[in-house]
Chains A and B, each alone.
Chain A
């Protein structure tokens, strides 16, 4: 067998392993429940209703634009799709390796796939949520703009960043349990430091800079522009974001492979 041949079969095997593991992870999230497949669909739907009623009707949230409570709910929900995608991965990364000691000690397992599986599973959840958003929008407000069709592009562009975080955090999570407290706090803070419940326009000037430093701000804004306003994202900004996070992901991967030989001792 040529070297190239063996590499390509290996890649193919990794891919089918990845698919199999993601399937497992996805089905696990609702397996054994009575609701079954309803949950991945029902959860975002319930969220949509709760946020619309609570923030749109009860709190009368000030968006910065004069829309109906319903429109506010949808704007908010679109931001949450991005945030939840991020948070779901972020919270799980530190736990990944510690939760699968057998994969480290007992069998030869490509551990670097674990964060990828988490990301893919969360991506499926986010895509379902996006579909529900579109369906809800079409029913209640009007047909979404054509750009909604390519809005998953934003979700996909987050993958390199999540990979970078995944490979780094899974190692740190193995070293110290404290990281779980930190990620918990961090996601709480991030929920409010990202313009999800508000528009970026109502943020005071002196704070705007800091809010903009948060990469999620950019992503949420772009996602919203595509879903609601039919505006294409700035390709330059997006490609810079993808490029930078890809470089980081590469470094993180290198770091992960470098230290992975010590996992057996660390676990």
Chain B
């Protein structure tokens, strides 16, 4: 038996826009007279192979063609061109609980879903206790699904799919519904399954999970494979994809620096170029006439490597390359927001009581933040402004929110330094004030 479980050759998928459903049907019956009005290509020339036991991530922005690709692999969608060969039982979590009937009880749905996954009734019943235990929904198993919360539906659906012993498991952003602990439990379980030869296809926008979990990644953009290979490189491509869309040209640096005579012009230019090439955010246009503005923002970890994923408690260095052209000092500020858009922290030169240089030219501002905040994805925004009184400023330029900045922690296995949104500086001690001995 070959080791390749999924082989995709030259697959393209186009969605035809027809005048009517009838024309669509005629076309599918082979009447080429009924031509589509327009072809929209969702996937173009996709080629890859996946071997048994691999965990592969498919990443890309919305509309990159991830879902179409997954649907083709599951078999609910036929590719327009090319061949797909899948050896093994595919279990797909495309939309959790979509195979469920709201009128039936959890128990009945588990049986029905198991049958749909190709098990016999005896096999489903044999595994039922395990499924029930994994889902942890208690007595609700005998109530109709329509009375469930979405989290409960997700738990049950995941349990059925995973415990029905698939050879290939496709997960499309499905875990995001479950609570944190269930997610951790699922990931731990999946890891175990992968070691036992499960092939996993994982679609997620949570790069932290992708990085920790997958062996390699395929990065899709505009329906084509832009990168296929190591997870870290693919993630880098993913994060640079936004810049590619924004920045048509790399800003050209012509300004002569003043007051920095001790450094050679070449090394300064190198410094600037390095920030730009490492940048996670970059201005669309940049020219000297534009006044004060942010040129690029790069984020480094403690080792000075460009990164966007940190362990809880790590130090994050934000390097802001900006152009100042103002008689007043230009302050740099940062805003860190969590998933829900709540402002976690704002900091910057004015918070730190630093005095910015008054120049007409390029400058770099470095800010170090210790990420004592709970695990999750955050977004960042950098602003330039003039001081206008305590805690106030006049905004000159802002990057808008970008990211994500991932803060990771394995809450399942590792003792966390704190729980909750922030880690406040804390200390404590015990004193015995009474003993029975």
List chain A positions with a Cβ less than 8 A from chain B: 9-10, 12-13, 16-17, 20-21, 24, 28, 31-32, 102-109, 171, 174-176, 258-259, 261-262, 264-266
Contacts and interface: CB of A to CB of B under 8 A. Distances in A.
Contact of B28 (A16, A105, A109, A261): A261
Contacts of A9: 120
A13 B164 CA distance: 14
B21 A176 contact: yes
A266 B120 contact: no
A16 B118 CA distance: 10
Contact of B98 (A10, A21, A102, A261): A102
Contact of A17 (B15, B104, B115): B115
> Which of B25, B29, B90, B95: most chain A Cβ within 10 A?
B25
B115 A20 contact: yes
B92 interface: yes
Interface string B93-129: 0110011010110001001100110111100000000
Interface residues of B, number: 32
Nearest to A264: B77
Contacts of B24: 262, 265-266
Given A13-B118, A28-B103, 15 more contacts: A16-B115, A17-B112, A17-B116, A103-B99, A105-B98, A106-B95, A107-B99, A108-B74, A176-B22, A258-B29, A259-B28, A259-B29, A265-B16, A265-B24, A266-B25
A13 B120 contact: yes
B76 interface: yes
B25 A108 contact: no
Contacts of B120: 9, 12-13, 16
A112 to B, nearest CB: 14
Contacts of A171: 25
15 contacts: A13-B118, A16-B115, A17-B116, A24-B101, A102-B99, A107-B94, A108-B74, A108-B76, A108-B92, A175-B22, A258-B29, A259-B25, A262-B28, A265-B15, A266-B24
B357 interface: no
Contacts of A20: 111-112, 115, 121
B71 to A, nearest CB: 8
B143 to A, nearest CB: 13
B191 interface: no
Contacts of A108: 74-76, 90, 92, 116
Contact of B116 (A109, A262, A264): A109
Contacts of A102: 95, 98-99
Interface in B66-82: 71, 74-78
A105 B70 CA distance: 12
B43 to A, nearest CB: 14
Nearest to B20: A175
B112 A21 contact: yes
B170 to A, nearest CB: 11
Interface in B264-283: none
B194 to A, nearest CB: 22
Contact of A16 (B21, B74, B103, B121): B121
Contact of A107 (B103, B116, B119): B116
Main secondary structure of the interface of A (DSSP, over half): helix
A108 B21 CA distance: 23
A174 B24 CA distance: 12
A31 B77 CA distance: 34
Nearest to A265: B24
Given A24-B108, A31-B103, A259-B28, A107 B98 contact: yes
B89 to A, nearest CB: 10
Interface of B: 15-16, 21-22, 24-25, 28-29, 71, 74-78, 90, 92, 94-95, 98-99, 101, 103-104, 108, 111-112, 115-116, 118-121
A70 to B, nearest CB: 40
A266 B21 contact: yes
B229 to A, nearest CB: 30
Tell which of A21, A28, A107 has the most Cβ of chain B within 10 Å. A107
B137 to A, nearest CB: 21
A171 to B, nearest CB: 8
Contacts of A106: 76, 94-95, 98-99
B95 A24 contact: no
A175 B25 contact: yes
B22 A264 contact: no
A25 B74 CA distance: 26
Contacts of B108: 24
Contact of B76 (A13, A176, A264): A264
A176 B112 CA distance: 30
A107 to B, nearest CB: 5
Question: Of residues A104, A105, A258, which shows the largest number of chain B Cβ atoms within 10 Å of its Cβ?
Answer: A105
A251 to B, nearest CB: 13
A260 to B, nearest CB: 9
A28 B103 CA distance: 8
Contacts of A262: 24-25, 28
Contacts of A16: 115, 120-121
Contacts of B99: 102-103, 106-107, 109
List the 6 closest pairs (A to B, CB-CB), nearest first: A106-B98, A262-B28, A102-B98, A261-B78, A17-B115, A107-B99
Nearest to B18: A265
A13 B25 contact: no
Nearest to A12: B120
Contacts of A103: 99
Contacts of A265: 15-16, 24
A266 B15 CA distance: 11
A261 B29 CA distance: 10
A107 B28 contact: no
B401 to A, nearest CB: 32
Contacts of A266: 21, 24-25
Nearest to A14: B115
Contacts of B21: 174-176, 266
A102 B116 CA distance: 13
Nearest to A9: B120
- Residue of A20, A259, A261, A266 ringed by the most chain B CB atoms within 10 A: A20
Nearest to B96: A106
A15 to B, nearest CB: 10
Contacts of B77: 264
Nearest to B101: A24
Nearest to B22: A175
A174 B75 CA distance: 20
